[in-house]
Structure 1
Amino acid sequence: MDTLNPPTFSQLFAQLGLPDDDAGIAAFIREHAPLDSAILLPDAPFWTPAQSRMLREGLGADAEWAPVIDHLNVSLRAHPEE
């Protein structure tokens, strides 16, 4: 990954094999939020093993992915508007 151009939210979704357009991202978050605070993001039940591994590695080893994975984590913890 280019350090001058950090990964974007859309690129993270593409990397996870998920729809990466605004509507697809919003639908995913709507479907899966709020994620219980006791569950670590990579351990959420909706990830495939490969997606879980990518998130875990992105948080642990690849600092370039960490901020955007943190953004995903925060987005999934929020309670959707009623």
Structure 2
Amino acid sequence: MEPFQHNLSNLFSQLGLNNSDEFIQVFITQHQLSQQQHITEAPFFSKVQRRFIQECQEQDADWCEVIDQLDALLRK
């Protein structure tokens, strides 16, 4: 059995979003965070999506590295 691959595509799928490369690029371009804003405060995520991200971070889950990657991409 192969370990689950945590990447941006799988994170978007987990969040219930389209996980195509094109959608991810457009999403990142259209949604940005200020330097002071925490990803769990992002207004473009639903309450359920924010809760998932927060719980992953609190539990230091396997998703944390990919969430951190998305967080960085949303600040460029």
Structure-1-length-normalised TM-score: 0.84
Q: Which runs of 5+ in 2 are unaligned?
A: none
Q: How many residues align?
A: 76
Deviation at 1:3, TM superposition (A): 8.3
Q: Which amino acid aligns with 2:59?
A: A
Q: In 2, distance between residues paired with 1:62 and 1:42?
A: 15
Q: Which runs of 5+ in 1 are unaligned?
A: none
Percent identity over paired residues = 37
Deviation at 1:6, TM superposition (A): 3.6
Q: Which amino acid aligns with 2:73?
A: S
Structure-2-length-normalised TM-score: 0.90
Q: Which runs of 4+ in 1 moved over 3 A?
A: 2-6
- Superposed CA RMSD: 1.7
Q: 1:64 to 1:37 in 2, by over 3 A?
A: same
Q: In 1, distance between residues paired with 2:4 and 2:11?
A: 13
